Amino acid sequence: MDELLERKEPTKGLPPLEGAENGVVMRFAPNPNGPPTIGSARGIIVNSEYVKRYGGKFLIRFDDTDPVKKRPMPEAYGWYIEDCTWLEAKPDGIITASERVYLYYRIAEELICRNGAYICLCPQAIFKEFKDKGIPCPHRDQLSEKNMELWKMMLDGSFAEGQAVLRVKTDMYHRDPAIRDWPAFRIATTPHPIAGERYRVWPLLDFESAVEDHLLAITHILRGKDLADSEKRQMYLYQHLNWTYPKVIHWGRIRIHQFGSFSTSKLRKAIEGGEYNGWDDPRIPTVRALRSRGFRPEALRKFIIELGVSETDIAISMDSIYALNRKLVDPEANRYFFVWNPVLLRLEGNVPNNAKALLHPNKKRGFREIPAGNEIFICQNDSKILKPGEEIRLKDLCNIEILSDIPLRARFAGLEVIKGLKIIHWAPKNGLPIRVLRPDGQDEGIGEPGIAQELGKVVQFERYGFVRIYQLGEPLLAYFAHK
């Protein structure tokens, strides 16, 4: 009976975590070689959400142990903390691997003593042959004392880069070649951006991550499918040291329709080359870009949590995030007129010099005043469909009758609202020059002066979409959020 009722429970959001009843310790472990992207946001949000649900600790750990190929960016460490905090996932602890290499050395030595690892002097290509064939290399049977001696030589500089690695003993006959005796430490003499020249022997991800997860008493690991083999590899290390492995959940790759494929290193190049305005350019999928565009963290959290943690690869659309954010932002955003691709419209007759328009259509938030008069701007798109003789309404101003299309002229035709009349918006002749930066390009035009008072806020440009006022000036800069 209980079973039946249990099965009826709909699972909303994230599925329950096995073995989490007494709290969890979870970590988000990025390489700080750029700012967090939407992909990183998934790691930040899901981990922190589980910690919120079950109680415990949410840690951020910088896996920054490659000074060469995945070279960390010193500014990025702070960016991660900043974006985590903005995403309502302030870490309870910050760990930086490059500051803790000495701890990994201790574990390595323990491992060598227990005969769980050996120094391998095979050139990389040679070892690959052994591995593919499934036969132990000549160094595998070295005595633990010999390994310790060679290890010290690695540390003291007796070996050059590439001459020696420390390998964890797994099973050279394992059916999956990816699991066989994997490397734990290699020599890298390039100075590290944070640790400088303090270390010349650096751990590789599988070792660093496995050891840290144990040291930090991580209970549950969420990781991408690309690291699906890591548990199998690291399990051997845990067995050698008699540790207990955390519970692991994998998720599939995530692609975003609107952004296509991207990588942090590619973005970095494009930004350094001036192709983008920076790490918050609306055309790129970073968390800071979303912030600049006026997204609310709740929208992002909700979206990511609804994605769940399936192992299926997914191709998501920003549309869902847009819809979620629109719901949050619509009641807050003041309304303004922005005329893109403006064309001048000359008006005859007693056009009011001022218009009064609601700041919000259905919240009682008062009015804004817009200078009007006999010359105003309208969108080129609107102008194209106007025919002489037609009567339309300028929103919140007056009705007009079109006199001619080229040149564009019209005359005042009354103030009273007439149902059924086509309505267009407009901007004052001496309005604000505005440039809107969009994910798909940019728009330029004229807006009403009140927009300048909304710096940093999200507003709606009527008939255009929601934007965040990014920077005052000539022109004023706005970042487009969504329709």
Partner RNA sequence: GCUCCGGUAGUGUAGUCCGGUCAAUCAUUCCGGCCUUUCGAGCCGAAGACUCGGGUUCAAAUCCCGACCGGAGCACCA
| Residue numbers 320-379 binding RNA by CB under 7 A | 320, 322-323, 326-327, 330, 335, 361-362
**d(C-alpha 162, C-alpha 151), whole Å:** 14
> Which of 75, 319 has the CB closer to RNA?
319
Residues written for the chain: 483
Q: How far is the CB of 302 from RNA (least distance, A)?
A: 9
H-type alpha helices, 283-333: 287-293, 297-307, 318-329
Told to check if 390 binds RNA by CB under 7 A, we report: no
**d(C-alpha 461, C-alpha 358), whole Å:** 13
Told to check if 316 binds RNA by CB under 7 A, we report: yes
Q: How far is the CB of 98 from RNA (least distance, A)?
A: 10
Q: Candidates 19, 55, 74, 123: give the one binding RNA (CB under 7 A).
A: 123
- The count of residues interacting with RNA (CB under 7 A) is 79
Told to check if 400 binds RNA by CB under 7 A, we report: no
**d(C-alpha 323, C-alpha 304), whole Å:** 13
Token couple for 270? 């494009």
Residues with Cβ within 8 Å of 6's Cβ and at least 6 positions away in sequence, in order, are: none
Interacting span for RNA (CB under 7 A) from 120-128, 341-349, 428-436, 445-453 = 120-128
Told to check if 99 binds RNA by CB under 7 A, we report: no
Q: Which residues pair with 256 in a beta bridge?
A: 260, 316
Phi, psi angle pair for 36, to nearest 5°:
-60, 140
What residue type is 26 in one-letter code?
A: M
- Site mask for RNA (CB under 7 A), range 127-146, x = bound: xx--xx--------------
Q: How far is the CB of 223 from RNA (least distance, A)?
A: 9
> Which of 87, 187 has the CB closer to RNA?
187
Told to check if 460 binds RNA by CB under 7 A, we report: yes
Say whether the peptide bond before residue 407 is cis (omega within 30 degrees of 0): yes
Told to check if 308 binds RNA by CB under 7 A, we report: yes
Q: How far is the CB of 445 from RNA (least distance, A)?
A: 14
Told to check if 202 binds RNA by CB under 7 A, we report: yes
Q: How far is the CB of 8 from RNA (least distance, A)?
A: 8
**d(C-alpha 439, C-alpha 447), whole Å:** 20
- CA angle 309/314/319 to nearest 5° reads 105
Q: How far is the CB of 474 from RNA (least distance, A)?
A: 26
Q: How far is CA 150 from CA 72, 142, 352, in A?
A: 29, 10, 89
Say whether the peptide bond before residue 475 is cis (omega within 30 degrees of 0): yes
Return the SS3 of 130.
helix
Q: Candidates 17, 24, 28, 31: give the one binding RNA (CB under 7 A).
A: 31
When computed from its CA atoms, the radius of gyration of the chain, rounded to whole angstroms, is 30
**Residue 260 DSSP class:** B
Window 53 to 92, contacts with RNA (CB under 7 A): 63-66, 68-70
Q: Candidates 30, 116, 285, 297: give the one binding RNA (CB under 7 A).
A: 30
Q: Candidates 73, 155, 215, 227: give the one binding RNA (CB under 7 A).
A: 227
**d(C-alpha 458, C-alpha 469), whole Å:** 6
Contact 254, 84 (CB under 8 A): no
Q: Candidates 21, 171, 311, 369: give the one binding RNA (CB under 7 A).
A: 311
Angle between helices 101-113 and 230-241 (to 10 degrees): 70
> Which of 132, 275 has the CB closer to RNA?
132
> Which of 180, 288 has the CB closer to RNA?
180
Window 404 to 443, contacts with RNA (CB under 7 A): 417, 423-425
- Site mask for RNA (CB under 7 A), range 141-180, x = bound: --------------------xxxxx---------xxxx--
Q: How far is the CB of 436 from RNA (least distance, A)?
A: 15
CA proximity to 370, closest of 346, 343, 339, 349: 339
> Which of 87, 122 has the CB closer to RNA?
122
Containing 392, the helix (H) or strand (E) segment is strand 391-394
CA proximity to 379, closest of 461, 277, 307: 461
Q: How far is the CB of 39 from RNA (least distance, A)?
A: 12
Q: How far is the CB of 274 from RNA (least distance, A)?
A: 26
> Which of 175, 364 has the CB closer to RNA?
175
> Which of 204, 472 has the CB closer to RNA?
204
Pairing of β 314-316 and β 254-256: parallel
Token couple for 12? 């909303």
> Which of 173, 242 has the CB closer to RNA?
173
Window 9 to 28, contacts with RNA (CB under 7 A): 10-11, 15
Q: How far is the CB of 407 from RNA (least distance, A)?
A: 22
